[in-house]
Amino acid sequence: MTAFVIRRLALLIPILLGVSFLVFGALYAVPGDAIDSMLADAGASAAEVARLRREFGLDRPFLTQYWTFLSRAARGDFGRSIRLRIPVIEAIGAQLPATLELTVASLVVATTVGLSFGVIAAVRHGTWVDTGTMMLSLVGVSMPIFWSGLLLIFLFSLKLGWLPAAGTGGVRALLLPAFTLGISAAAIIARVTRSSLLEVLGQEYVRTARAKGLAERLVVLRHAMRNALISVVTIVGLQFGALLGGAVVVETVFGRQGIGIMAADAIRTQDFPMVQGTVMIASLAFVVVNLLVDLSYIWIDPRIHYA
Protein backbone atom coordinates (compact mmCIF):
# COMPACT_ATOMS: atom_id res chain seq x y z
CA MET A 1 0.00 0.00 0.00
CA THR A 2 2.73 2.45 0.97
CA ALA A 3 4.76 1.53 -2.10
CA PHE A 4 1.70 2.13 -4.30
CA VAL A 5 1.15 5.60 -2.83
CA ILE A 6 4.83 6.47 -3.30
CA ARG A 7 4.72 5.31 -6.94
CA ARG A 8 1.59 7.33 -7.62
CA LEU A 9 3.09 10.43 -6.00
CA ALA A 10 6.23 9.95 -8.11
CA LEU A 11 4.05 9.83 -11.22
CA LEU A 12 2.82 13.33 -10.37
CA ILE A 13 6.15 14.72 -11.58
CA PRO A 14 5.99 13.62 -15.25
CA ILE A 15 2.25 14.35 -15.41
CA LEU A 16 2.67 17.90 -14.15
CA LEU A 17 5.74 18.38 -16.36
CA GLY A 18 3.69 17.36 -19.39
CA VAL A 19 0.83 19.67 -18.44
CA SER A 20 3.20 22.57 -17.84
CA PHE A 21 4.94 22.08 -21.21
CA LEU A 22 1.66 21.90 -23.12
CA VAL A 23 0.22 24.97 -21.42
CA PHE A 24 3.43 26.99 -21.67
CA GLY A 25 3.93 26.01 -25.32
CA ALA A 26 0.34 26.83 -26.28
CA LEU A 27 0.50 30.25 -24.62
CA TYR A 28 3.91 30.99 -26.15
CA ALA A 29 2.48 30.28 -29.62
CA VAL A 30 -0.37 32.79 -29.15
CA PRO A 31 0.31 36.00 -31.13
CA GLY A 32 1.03 39.01 -28.94
CA ASP A 33 1.32 39.17 -25.17
CA ALA A 34 0.02 41.02 -22.13
CA ILE A 35 2.34 43.97 -22.75
CA ASP A 36 0.64 44.58 -26.09
CA SER A 37 -2.78 44.43 -24.41
CA MET A 38 -1.75 46.79 -21.60
CA LEU A 39 -0.14 49.40 -23.84
CA ALA A 40 -2.42 49.13 -26.87
CA ASP A 41 -4.15 52.45 -26.18
CA ALA A 42 -1.48 54.07 -24.01
CA GLY A 43 0.73 55.32 -26.85
CA ALA A 44 3.85 53.90 -25.19
CA SER A 45 7.18 54.22 -26.95
CA ALA A 46 9.09 51.25 -28.34
CA ALA A 47 11.67 51.71 -25.57
CA GLU A 48 8.98 51.47 -22.87
CA VAL A 49 7.54 48.33 -24.47
CA ALA A 50 11.00 46.75 -24.65
CA ARG A 51 11.69 47.66 -21.00
CA LEU A 52 8.49 46.00 -19.82
CA ARG A 53 9.20 42.89 -21.87
CA ARG A 54 12.64 42.63 -20.26
CA GLU A 55 11.12 43.16 -16.82
CA PHE A 56 8.74 40.21 -17.26
CA GLY A 57 11.25 38.06 -19.16
CA LEU A 58 9.18 37.99 -22.35
CA ASP A 59 12.17 38.86 -24.56
CA ARG A 60 13.97 35.58 -23.77
CA PRO A 61 13.93 32.38 -25.90
CA PHE A 62 11.20 29.79 -25.32
CA LEU A 63 13.37 27.23 -23.50
CA THR A 64 14.86 29.90 -21.24
CA GLN A 65 11.41 31.16 -20.30
CA TYR A 66 10.14 27.61 -19.74
CA TRP A 67 13.10 26.67 -17.54
CA THR A 68 12.62 29.83 -15.48
CA PHE A 69 8.96 28.99 -15.05
CA LEU A 70 9.73 25.39 -14.00
CA SER A 71 12.42 26.35 -11.52
CA ARG A 72 10.09 28.87 -9.87
CA ALA A 73 7.04 26.58 -9.96
CA ALA A 74 9.02 23.86 -8.15
CA ARG A 75 9.31 26.33 -5.24
CA GLY A 76 5.63 27.27 -5.42
CA ASP A 77 6.34 30.53 -7.24
CA PHE A 78 4.39 31.03 -10.47
CA GLY A 79 5.71 34.53 -11.04
CA ARG A 80 3.83 37.82 -10.91
CA SER A 81 0.56 38.61 -12.60
CA ILE A 82 1.21 41.06 -15.43
CA ARG A 83 -2.27 42.56 -15.07
CA LEU A 84 -2.64 42.62 -11.26
CA ARG A 85 1.07 43.21 -10.47
CA ILE A 86 0.95 40.78 -7.51
CA PRO A 87 2.35 37.23 -7.10
CA VAL A 88 0.22 34.68 -8.95
CA ILE A 89 0.13 32.30 -5.99
CA GLU A 90 -1.21 35.13 -3.81
CA ALA A 91 -4.02 35.88 -6.27
CA ILE A 92 -4.88 32.18 -6.57
CA GLY A 93 -4.84 31.75 -2.80
CA ALA A 94 -7.38 34.55 -2.44
CA GLN A 95 -9.80 33.07 -5.01
CA LEU A 96 -9.26 29.31 -4.67
CA PRO A 97 -11.47 28.80 -1.56
CA ALA A 98 -14.52 30.15 -3.40
CA THR A 99 -13.95 27.82 -6.36
CA LEU A 100 -13.35 24.80 -4.12
CA GLU A 101 -16.51 25.64 -2.18
CA LEU A 102 -18.52 25.69 -5.41
CA THR A 103 -16.87 22.52 -6.77
CA VAL A 104 -17.36 20.49 -3.57
CA ALA A 105 -20.97 21.68 -3.18
CA SER A 106 -21.79 20.78 -6.79
CA LEU A 107 -20.09 17.38 -6.34
CA VAL A 108 -22.26 16.71 -3.28
CA VAL A 109 -25.35 17.66 -5.30
CA ALA A 110 -24.27 15.53 -8.26
CA THR A 111 -23.45 12.48 -6.14
CA THR A 112 -26.62 12.67 -4.04
CA VAL A 113 -28.98 13.22 -6.96
CA GLY A 114 -27.13 10.88 -9.32
CA LEU A 115 -26.95 7.96 -6.87
CA SER A 116 -30.61 8.38 -5.87
CA PHE A 117 -31.87 8.50 -9.46
CA GLY A 118 -29.61 5.62 -10.53
CA VAL A 119 -30.72 3.33 -7.70
CA ILE A 120 -34.40 4.12 -8.29
CA ALA A 121 -34.06 3.47 -12.02
CA ALA A 122 -32.27 0.16 -11.44
CA VAL A 123 -34.75 -1.08 -8.83
CA ARG A 124 -37.69 -0.05 -11.05
CA HIS A 125 -36.04 -1.37 -14.20
CA GLY A 126 -38.39 -1.57 -17.19
CA THR A 127 -41.10 0.62 -15.64
CA TRP A 128 -42.15 4.19 -16.41
CA VAL A 129 -40.03 5.32 -13.43
CA ASP A 130 -36.92 3.91 -15.09
CA THR A 131 -37.80 5.50 -18.43
CA GLY A 132 -38.62 8.88 -16.90
CA THR A 133 -35.46 8.95 -14.81
CA MET A 134 -33.25 8.14 -17.79
CA MET A 135 -35.03 10.79 -19.91
CA LEU A 136 -34.29 13.37 -17.22
CA SER A 137 -30.67 12.21 -17.19
CA LEU A 138 -30.49 12.62 -20.96
CA VAL A 139 -31.80 16.18 -20.64
CA GLY A 140 -29.26 16.90 -17.91
CA VAL A 141 -26.37 15.64 -20.02
CA SER A 142 -27.52 17.50 -23.14
CA MET A 143 -28.28 20.90 -21.60
CA PRO A 144 -25.36 23.40 -21.64
CA ILE A 145 -24.32 24.67 -18.21
CA PHE A 146 -24.81 28.34 -19.05
CA TRP A 147 -28.36 27.67 -20.32
CA SER A 148 -29.44 25.69 -17.25
CA GLY A 149 -27.95 28.44 -15.09
CA LEU A 150 -29.97 31.11 -16.86
CA LEU A 151 -33.15 29.01 -16.53
CA LEU A 152 -32.59 28.57 -12.78
CA ILE A 153 -31.95 32.30 -12.36
CA PHE A 154 -35.15 33.11 -14.27
CA LEU A 155 -37.25 30.71 -12.20
CA PHE A 156 -35.88 30.93 -8.66
CA SER A 157 -34.55 34.51 -8.68
CA LEU A 158 -36.67 36.57 -11.06
CA LYS A 159 -40.01 34.76 -10.86
CA LEU A 160 -40.09 33.28 -7.35
CA GLY A 161 -37.53 35.52 -5.66
CA TRP A 162 -36.30 32.71 -3.43
CA LEU A 163 -32.58 32.89 -4.13
CA PRO A 164 -30.11 35.61 -5.18
CA ALA A 165 -29.21 35.70 -8.87
CA ALA A 166 -25.54 36.53 -8.35
CA GLY A 167 -22.86 37.07 -5.76
CA THR A 168 -20.58 35.12 -3.43
CA GLY A 169 -21.02 34.31 0.24
CA GLY A 170 -23.55 32.33 2.24
CA VAL A 171 -25.47 29.16 1.55
CA ARG A 172 -28.29 30.91 -0.33
CA ALA A 173 -25.86 32.39 -2.87
CA LEU A 174 -24.26 28.96 -3.33
CA LEU A 175 -27.40 26.90 -4.02
CA LEU A 176 -28.14 27.96 -7.60
CA PRO A 177 -24.52 27.76 -8.84
CA ALA A 178 -24.04 24.36 -7.15
CA PHE A 179 -27.20 22.91 -8.72
CA THR A 180 -26.33 24.41 -12.10
CA LEU A 181 -22.86 22.88 -12.07
CA GLY A 182 -24.02 19.59 -10.56
CA ILE A 183 -26.90 18.83 -12.95
CA SER A 184 -24.80 17.48 -15.81
CA ALA A 185 -22.57 15.43 -13.49
CA ALA A 186 -25.62 14.05 -11.67
CA ALA A 187 -27.04 12.82 -14.98
CA ILE A 188 -23.82 10.96 -15.82
CA ILE A 189 -23.55 9.45 -12.33
CA ALA A 190 -27.20 8.33 -12.49
CA ARG A 191 -26.69 6.47 -15.76
CA VAL A 192 -23.50 4.76 -14.55
CA THR A 193 -25.13 3.83 -11.22
CA ARG A 194 -28.11 2.30 -13.00
CA SER A 195 -26.03 0.18 -15.38
CA SER A 196 -23.62 -0.98 -12.65
CA LEU A 197 -26.39 -1.84 -10.21
CA LEU A 198 -28.38 -3.73 -12.86
CA GLU A 199 -25.32 -5.85 -13.59
CA VAL A 200 -24.79 -6.64 -9.91
CA LEU A 201 -28.49 -7.39 -9.25
CA GLY A 202 -28.25 -10.26 -11.71
CA GLN A 203 -25.47 -12.00 -9.79
CA GLU A 204 -25.95 -15.31 -7.96
CA TYR A 205 -25.22 -13.96 -4.49
CA VAL A 206 -27.99 -11.36 -4.84
CA ARG A 207 -30.51 -14.05 -5.79
CA THR A 208 -29.30 -16.08 -2.80
CA ALA A 209 -29.83 -13.12 -0.47
CA ARG A 210 -33.37 -12.72 -1.77
CA ALA A 211 -34.01 -16.45 -1.40
CA LYS A 212 -33.03 -16.17 2.27
CA GLY A 213 -35.92 -13.76 2.74
CA LEU A 214 -33.96 -10.52 3.21
CA ALA A 215 -35.86 -7.32 2.62
CA GLU A 216 -35.34 -5.83 -0.83
CA ARG A 217 -33.95 -2.66 0.72
CA LEU A 218 -31.21 -4.63 2.49
CA VAL A 219 -30.45 -6.66 -0.62
CA VAL A 220 -29.96 -3.52 -2.71
CA LEU A 221 -28.16 -1.28 -0.23
CA ARG A 222 -26.11 -3.78 1.78
CA HIS A 223 -25.26 -6.47 -0.76
CA ALA A 224 -25.59 -5.06 -4.29
CA MET A 225 -24.79 -1.38 -3.95
CA ARG A 226 -21.37 -1.77 -2.41
CA ASN A 227 -20.14 -3.94 -5.28
CA ALA A 228 -21.62 -1.52 -7.80
CA LEU A 229 -19.78 1.45 -6.29
CA ILE A 230 -16.42 0.82 -7.99
CA SER A 231 -17.58 2.21 -11.34
CA VAL A 232 -19.56 4.97 -9.65
CA VAL A 233 -16.63 6.18 -7.54
CA THR A 234 -14.42 6.23 -10.64
CA ILE A 235 -16.92 8.45 -12.46
CA VAL A 236 -17.29 10.71 -9.42
CA GLY A 237 -13.53 11.23 -9.36
CA LEU A 238 -13.46 12.09 -13.06
CA GLN A 239 -16.40 14.44 -12.63
CA PHE A 240 -14.40 16.45 -10.09
CA GLY A 241 -12.14 17.61 -12.91
CA ALA A 242 -15.13 18.40 -15.11
CA LEU A 243 -16.76 20.40 -12.32
CA LEU A 244 -13.54 22.29 -11.65
CA GLY A 245 -13.40 23.23 -15.32
CA GLY A 246 -17.10 24.05 -15.47
CA ALA A 247 -16.66 26.51 -12.61
CA VAL A 248 -15.35 29.00 -15.20
CA VAL A 249 -18.76 29.16 -16.88
CA VAL A 250 -20.81 29.09 -13.67
CA GLU A 251 -18.73 31.79 -11.97
CA THR A 252 -19.21 33.98 -15.03
CA VAL A 253 -22.98 33.40 -15.23
CA PHE A 254 -23.56 34.00 -11.51
CA GLY A 255 -20.92 36.72 -11.04
CA ARG A 256 -19.06 34.71 -8.40
CA GLN A 257 -15.48 35.12 -7.30
CA GLY A 258 -13.08 32.26 -8.00
CA ILE A 259 -10.11 31.11 -10.01
CA GLY A 260 -12.37 30.25 -12.93
CA ILE A 261 -13.44 33.79 -13.70
CA MET A 262 -9.94 34.99 -12.80
CA ALA A 263 -8.47 32.59 -15.38
CA ALA A 264 -10.99 33.77 -17.98
CA ASP A 265 -9.94 37.39 -17.37
CA ALA A 266 -6.28 36.36 -17.57
CA ILE A 267 -6.84 34.65 -20.94
CA ARG A 268 -8.67 37.70 -22.27
CA THR A 269 -5.87 40.06 -21.23
CA GLN A 270 -3.10 37.55 -22.12
CA ASP A 271 -1.85 37.45 -18.54
CA PHE A 272 0.10 34.26 -19.18
CA PRO A 273 1.65 33.77 -15.70
CA MET A 274 -1.85 33.81 -14.19
CA VAL A 275 -3.16 31.32 -16.76
CA GLN A 276 -0.20 28.98 -16.17
CA GLY A 277 -0.61 29.15 -12.40
CA THR A 278 -4.36 28.43 -12.39
CA VAL A 279 -3.99 25.51 -14.82
CA MET A 280 -1.17 23.96 -12.78
CA ILE A 281 -3.11 24.26 -9.50
CA ALA A 282 -6.26 22.78 -11.10
CA SER A 283 -4.22 19.91 -12.61
CA LEU A 284 -2.60 19.14 -9.25
CA ALA A 285 -6.01 19.07 -7.54
CA PHE A 286 -7.42 16.73 -10.21
CA VAL A 287 -4.49 14.28 -9.96
CA VAL A 288 -4.66 14.20 -6.14
CA VAL A 289 -8.41 13.52 -6.22
CA ASN A 290 -7.90 10.60 -8.62
CA LEU A 291 -5.26 9.18 -6.26
CA LEU A 292 -7.80 9.34 -3.43
CA VAL A 293 -10.32 7.58 -5.68
CA ASP A 294 -7.86 4.74 -6.30
CA LEU A 295 -7.25 4.39 -2.57
CA SER A 296 -10.98 4.33 -1.85
CA TYR A 297 -11.32 1.08 -3.85
CA ILE A 298 -9.71 -0.78 -0.93
CA TRP A 299 -12.36 0.50 1.46
CA ILE A 300 -15.19 -0.36 -0.93
CA ASP A 301 -13.95 -3.86 -1.77
CA PRO A 302 -11.45 -5.44 0.70
CA ARG A 303 -10.54 -8.02 -1.97
CA ILE A 304 -8.68 -5.27 -3.83
CA HIS A 305 -5.12 -4.69 -2.71
CA TYR A 306 -2.11 -3.01 -4.26
CA ALA A 307 1.01 -5.14 -4.27
Over the stretch 88-125, which tens digit does the pLDDT of each residue have?
888 888 888 888 888 888 888 888 888 888 888 888 88
In Å, how far from its chain's centre is CA 194?
23
Is residue 232 within 8 A of residue 260, CB to CB? The reply is: no
| pLDDT tens-digit series, residues 46-82 | 676 677 777 767 777 778 878 888 888 888 788 777 7
Distance CA 113, CA 105 (A): 12
Residue ranges matching CATH 1.10.3720.10 in the chain? 91-300
Per-residue confidence band for 231, with pLDDT thresholds at 50, 70 and 90: confident
Q: In terms of pLDDT, which residue wins out, 34 or 191?
A: 191
Three-state SS annotation for 4-64:
HHHHHHHHHHHHHHHHHHHHHHHHHHCCCCHHHHHHCCCCCCHHHHHHHHHHCCCCCCHHH
pLDDT at 20 over 80: yes
Q: How far is 198 from 176, CA to CA, in rounded Å?
A: 32
Architecture per CATH, 91-300: Orthogonal Bundle (1.10)
